[in-house]
């Protein structure tokens, strides 16, 4: 049975997915899924392996285009736009396996994520050198502040290849924040992270969320989901199965059936 998760009433909707489907020939990976993400919300998306949640995530991020349906950011239809174009609309994402440039320093990795710099144009470097220089200084200051925020400032000159898996997740969080997103898509931030760094990641996500930034979180770590997410969506077999609090979905018979084949 398919359901449509509309999101909480009242708050502004920043992300809207309407009847999204993704087909690969005869295979339907995502089947008529609808949900909204409200401003300031941390929304969890969970489901057993093969549920279609990663494909759904890629449709929202712009890595793939839906076969049908509509995806809107701040009311703007972005269904046919690339991931790069969606960043310009305030939609950023992290990856389950972080992808830093291993030979570049941490600060250069963060600086690469900045958007709409005057110095990106060759002519501007000649016509507005002072403006370009001022923007460069501001960008460096912002990158350093973000590295400090994720507790990596002491390593800012080190190449990204020296980082542990958990530190790479923190670096990726700094990189996505460099683009000033209004919405952040988090792809399994707990995967491969030790308990100590996981607490840091949870704390940093909470602090960013306090600033009004919304999150859509895919995660297998149910403890993390229950701590961060006020609302959780569950997918199974490409469809949206149910929604509710973490406690509600954990005890829903449909969820137990999807995960355990009926074994309680």
19, 70 contact by CB (below 8 A)? yes
72, 78 contact by CB (below 8 A)? yes
Question: What span, in angstroms and rounded, lies between the C-alpha atoms of 28 and 26?
Answer: 6
- For residue range 185-232, what is the model confidence (pLDDT) as tens digits? 999 999 889 999 999 999 999 999 999 999 999 998 989 999 999 999
pTM: 0.87
* pLDDT at residue 3, as a whole number: 52
Give the residue extent of every domain in the chain: 4-100+164-260, 106-162
234, 43 contact by CB (below 8 A)? no
Considering the segment(s) 4-100+164-260 as one domain, its CATH architecture is: 3-Layer(aba) Sandwich (3.40)
Residue 204, φ and ψ in degrees, nearest 5: -70, -40
pLDDT mean across residues, the chain: 89
* Burial class (CB within 10 angstroms; exposed 0-12, middle 13-18, buried 19+) of 153: middle
184, 208 contact by CB (below 8 A)? yes
- For residue range 51-61, what is the model confidence (pLDDT) as tens digits? 999 999 999 99
């Amino acid at each position: 049975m398919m359901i449509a998760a509309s999101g909480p009433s009242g708050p502004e909707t920043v992300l809207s997915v309407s009847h999204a489907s993704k087909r690969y020939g005869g295979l339907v990976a995502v089947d008529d899924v609808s949900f909204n993400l409200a401003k300031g919300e941390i929304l969890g998306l969970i489901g057993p392996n093969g549920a279609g949640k990663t494909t759904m995530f890629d449709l929202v991020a712009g890595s793939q285009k839906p076969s049908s349906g509509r995806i809107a950011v701040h009311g703007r239809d972005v269904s046919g736009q690339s991931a790069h174009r969606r960043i310009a609309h305030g939609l950023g994402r992290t990856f389950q396996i972080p992808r830093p440039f291993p030979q570049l320093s941490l600060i250069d990795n963060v600086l690469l994520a900045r958007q709409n710099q005057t110095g990106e144009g060759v002519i501007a470097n000649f016509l507005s050198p002072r403006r370009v220089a001022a923007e460069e200084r501001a960008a460096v200051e912002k990158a350093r502040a973000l590295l400090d925020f994720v507790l990596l400032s002491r390593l800012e000159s080190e190449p990204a290849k020296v980082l542990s898996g958990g530190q790479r997740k923190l670096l990726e969080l700094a990189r996505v924040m460099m683009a000033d997103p209004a919405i952040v898509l988090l792809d399994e931030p707990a995967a491969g992270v030790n308990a100590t760094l996981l607490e840091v990641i949870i704390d940093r996500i909470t602090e960013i969320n306090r600033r009004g930034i919304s999150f859509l979180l895919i995660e297998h770590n149910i403890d993390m989901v229950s701590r961060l997410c006020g609302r959780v969506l569950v997918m199974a077999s490409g469809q949206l199965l149910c929604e509710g609090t973490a406690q509600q979905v954990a005890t829903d018979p449909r969820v137990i059936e999807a995960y355990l084949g009926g074994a309680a």
